[in-house]
């Protein structure tokens, strides 16, 4: 394990530092780590413990992120380190996200930023996705990879819980092309119980993404008995439409029991369909269903004429009816980045 100088921190006492990378603003004593488990105070200075250590690396369809309006049909080299600043009870990747809290050591394969770029180019990936765990907590590593990616003509996308501080997000924004942000509910109490974070911090981060001009898509995992009330689903849809924009895609995903949340049943398809109705009623132009077999749930429908302009199946890109970003049928402009491009 190597120590790599961290960014975004300050000294606040003889032996304490405050990390300002995410919105928890952890105060960390000498020889202790922050909430993420991978940033440590060593002799009064803050260091990252995961720089250059990839614990997962795969080539995925961009649709798996999910990003449906960003270079559909393209490949994305996806990688992560261990660690996360959230403690989600339903985390699907808890084996690596919670590793620093549940196991010893910092695992991973040494992979330099240049190695990541080489793998992306070699695999014909249009983008690099910082995903699987939380990219914020390996910010220094992600930042250096993103800078090199930009030089190589490779795009950068975050799949994130949306808790990065404004300062840190503004620093990487010039190199960040798109993001899918989890909006896990609209109740502060429930947010804290399941993730440990505050709703307000996520909403503020979402506003930052939109303000900075980074292409944004939002995902909500609908959990029975947690965030599936009609009121809460309507609130999420209204927030996206009114504060982020009607053209921001909303991905509504089905929950399946996992990790520490085994007492809840899978999400009924009817609940997802109802949430999709609420999204349309709020004025959202692009609403998708995920983690469930639903004919057409992943298709992009033209807001102008109602015809399918991008068809998908579980969730791989299939075909488009677009010329650039324009609908072939009515010439309505479909929001997104390079929608007719595919590899």
Mean pLDDT of 321-330: 94
- pLDDT tier, 341 (very low <50, low <70, confident <90, very high otherwise): low
Are both 175 and 307 inside the same structural domain? no
Strands 109-110 and 53-54: antiparallel
Higher pLDDT, 205 or 190: 205
Are both 327 and 279 inside the same structural domain? no
Are both 292 and 306 inside the same structural domain? no
Are both 277 and 241 inside the same structural domain? yes
Are both 147 and 167 inside the same structural domain? yes
Mean pLDDT of 50-54: 97
Are both 11 and 92 inside the same structural domain? no
Which pLDDT does position 319 carry in this prediction? 83
Q: Alpha-carbon distance 319 to 321, whole Å?
A: 7
| Side-chain-side CA neighbours of residue 151 (13 Å) | 11
Q: Alpha-carbon distance 221 to 185, whole Å?
A: 8
Higher pLDDT, 316 or 161: 161
Are both 267 and 200 inside the same structural domain? yes
> 97 and 38 in contact (C-beta within 8 Å)?
no
Bridge partners of residue 319, in order along the sequence: 311
Residue in 205, 219, 203 with CA at minimum distance from that of residue 66: 219
Are both 15 and 161 inside the same structural domain? no
Which ranges of the chain does DSSP label H, i.e. alpha helix?
Answer: 94-97, 99-102, 113-122, 139-152, 166-172, 188-195, 199-211, 230-239, 269-281
Is the predicted pLDDT of residue 188 greater than 90, yes or no?
yes
Task: Name the phi and psi angles at 143, rounded to 5.
Answer: -60, -50
Are both 132 and 242 inside the same structural domain? yes
Count: domains in the chain: 3
Are both 134 and 235 inside the same structural domain? yes
Percent of the chain with pLDDT over 90: 92
Are both 254 and 338 inside the same structural domain? no
Asked if omega into 66 is within 30° of 0 (cis), the reply is yes
- pLDDT tier, 222 (very low <50, low <70, confident <90, very high otherwise): very high
Higher pLDDT, 124 or 340: 124
Q: Alpha-carbon distance 132 to 105, whole Å?
A: 19
Mean pLDDT of 205-214: 98
Taking all residues of the chain, what is their mean pLDDT, rounded to a whole number?
95
Which pLDDT does position 190 carry in this prediction? 87
Is the predicted pLDDT of residue 157 greater than 60, yes or no?
yes
Which pLDDT does position 220 carry in this prediction? 98
Whether the pTM exceeds 0.85: the reply is yes
Are both 35 and 74 inside the same structural domain? no
pLDDT (tens digit per residue) in 234-266: 999 999 999 999 999 999 999 999 999 999 999
- pLDDT tier, 343 (very low <50, low <70, confident <90, very high otherwise): very low
Range of the domain at 20: 4-48
């Amino acid at each position: 394990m190597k120590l790599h100088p961290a960014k975004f921190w300050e000294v606040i006492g003889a032996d304490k530092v405050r990390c300002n990378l995410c919105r928890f603003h952890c105060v960390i004593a000498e020889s202790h780590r922050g909430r993420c488990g991978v940033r440590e105070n060593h002799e009064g200075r803050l260091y990252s413990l995961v720089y250059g250590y990839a614990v997962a690396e795969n080539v995925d369809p961009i649709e798996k992120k999910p990003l449906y309006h960003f270079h559909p049909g393209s490949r994305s080299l996806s990688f992560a380190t261990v660690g996360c600043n959230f403690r989600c009870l339903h985390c699907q990747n808890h084996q690596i996200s919670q590793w620093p809290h549940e196991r010893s050591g910092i695992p991973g394969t040494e992979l330099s930023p240049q190695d990541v770029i080489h793998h992306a180019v070699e695999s014909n990936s249009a983008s690099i996705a910082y995903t699987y765990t939380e990219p914020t907590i390996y910010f220094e590593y992600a930042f250096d990879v993103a800078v090199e990616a930009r030089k190589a003509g490779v795009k950068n996308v975050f799949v994130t819980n949306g808790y990065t501080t404004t300062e840190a997000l503004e620093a990487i924004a010039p190199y960040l092309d798109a993001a899918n942000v989890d909006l896990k509910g609209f109740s502060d109490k429930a947010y804290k119980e399941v993730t440990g974070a505050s709703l307000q911090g996520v909403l503020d981060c979402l506003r930052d993404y939109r303000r900075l001009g980074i292409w944004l898509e939002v995902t909500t995992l609908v959990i029975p008995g947690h965030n599936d009330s009609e009121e809460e689903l309507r609130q999420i849809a209204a927030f996206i439409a009114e504060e982020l924009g009607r053209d921001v895609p909303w991905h509504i995903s089905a929950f399946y029991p996992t990790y520490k949340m085994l007492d809840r049943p899978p999400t009924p398809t009817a609940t997802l369909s109802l949430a999709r109705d609420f999204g349309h009623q709020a004025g959202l132009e692009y609403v998708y269903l995920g983690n469930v077999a639903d004919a057409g749930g992943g298709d992009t429908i033209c807001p102008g004429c109602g015809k399918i302009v991008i068809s998908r199946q579980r969730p791989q890109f299939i075909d488009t009816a677009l010329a650039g970003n324009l609908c072939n049928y009515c010439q309505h402009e479909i929001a997104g980045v390079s929608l007719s491009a595919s590899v």
